[in-house]
Amino acid sequence: MDFPSVFIVIVNYNGWKDTIECLESLQNISYPNYQVVLVDNGSTNGSLEYIKKWCSGDIRIESEFAKYNANSKPVCYIEYERNIAETGGSWEKENIIADKAPNQRLVLIRSNENLGFSGGNNVGIKYSLSKNADYILLLNNDTVVSCDFIEHLIEVASNNEKVGMVGGKIFYYDRPDSVAFAGGKISLIRGSGYHFTDNRFNEPTPVSFLTGCLWFVKSNVFRQVGLLDEYYFLYVEGVDYCYRVQNYGYILMYTPHSIIYHKEGSSAGRLSPLSLYYITRNRPYFVNKNVKNWVTIILFWFFYIPSRILRSIQSGKNGIYIIKGIVDYFKDIMLL
């Protein structure tokens, strides 16, 4: 049986505790042909050193979702600086992990600055493309996975050449019976993507939006459509990419059979100043960049300005970050 190569890209920024739990869960998956690529996005809390200690077996992680696997330790890792990794690394280092089992090897890539979600993932995508990956799986570091989640993604992706991306069903980590994502749609009038959180889809189904928490992408999609837009930094970049992929003629699919669990909002915090700023700044950028219908653009602004004013009032002192997001968007658009 043929097992296409899957490169799993994870971006870490000061989140080593979540990251090693994610890595531990990946050690127990059943798919036999994968490579984990971890991009450290300029962490300032010693994350890489803690991750290396986990590799050596010096840090034991155990949770309801990730059972510690002593038999898979130590994990053999190789480490690259960003510029070297993006051009394919080195034969000498690659040879060190070549004969290791997938759950006992790890590629660590160090970025000396925080490139955001888009930039950090782009580093891992470039490395994966240089290694001729068949599929590239983008996975949030604050997730844990079910053992057979990749098989279900491959089944859907391989059934139709027009399928470019596949996403799975995401449950809340702290409320594992509650659905965080079960398919989604893009609203151009709101300049955003929306999650379905019910069980309306019992079988693989085309959708217009997949959350960037879990993307399973054919490598040719990145080669043809391009990489993530790094202007976004955080938030809305996933909406942008889903929209671009569909405009290129590909189909996005959601499958309820591939399951992961997500610590919702642990990276930036739900409604944190960071999230308020970037969501506010990035939504009009998405519309300006992608929408050509003037009626839709006008409707967007009629919805957007009142909703941002209301949200800034509701956010109290954090409302200043919404105002700053709007101001910076207009400053940036004059320069782009």
List, in sequence order, every residue forming a beta bridge with 135; answer none if it has no partner. Answer: 6, 218
Mean pLDDT for the stretch of residues 179-205? 96
Residue 247 one-letter amino acid: N
**pLDDT class of 264 with cuts at 50, 70, 90:** confident
Residue 183: is its pLDDT beyond 60?
Answer: yes
Weakest mean pLDDT among 2-6, 117-121, 204-208, 314-318: 314-318
Residue 319: is its pLDDT beyond 80?
Answer: yes
**pLDDT class of 310 with cuts at 50, 70, 90:** very high
Which residues, including other chains, have CB under 8 Å from residue 2's CB and lie 6 or more apart? none
Q: What percent of the chain stands above pLDDT 70?
A: 97
* CATH topology for the 6-262 domain: Spore Coat Polysaccharide Biosynthesis Protein SpsA; Chain A (3.90.550)
Mean pLDDT for the stretch of residues 313-332? 92
C-alpha span between 116 and 232 (Å, rounded): 8
Q: What is the pLDDT of residue 131?
A: 97
Mean pLDDT for the stretch of residues 186-204? 96
Q: What is the pLDDT of residue 266?
A: 47
Q: What is the pLDDT of residue 85?
A: 97
DSSP state of 122: H
Residue 268: is its pLDDT beyond 50?
Answer: no
**pLDDT class of 205 with cuts at 50, 70, 90:** very high
Whether the predicted model's global pTM rises above the 0.75 cut? yes
**pLDDT class of 323 with cuts at 50, 70, 90:** very high
DSSP state of 264: T
DSSP state of 2: -
Q: Are strands 135-139 and 6-12 parallel, antiparallel or unpaired?
A: parallel
Domain boundaries, the chain: 6-262, 273-333
DSSP state of 104: G
**pLDDT class of 317 with cuts at 50, 70, 90:** very high
pLDDT in tens, 87-127: 999 999 999 999 999 999 999 999 999 999 999 999 999 99
Mean pLDDT for the stretch of residues 271-291? 94
Mean pLDDT for the stretch of residues 295-301? 96
Q: What is the pLDDT of residue 66?
A: 85
Identify the residue with better confidence: 264 or 82: 82
Q: What is the pLDDT of residue 75?
A: 98
- Say if residues 18 and 50 touch (Cβ distance below 8 Å): no
pLDDT averaged over every residue in the chain: 95
C-alpha span between 276 and 2 (Å, rounded): 45
C-alpha span between 17 and 20 (Å, rounded): 6
How far apart, in Å, do the first and last CA atoms of the chain sit?
49
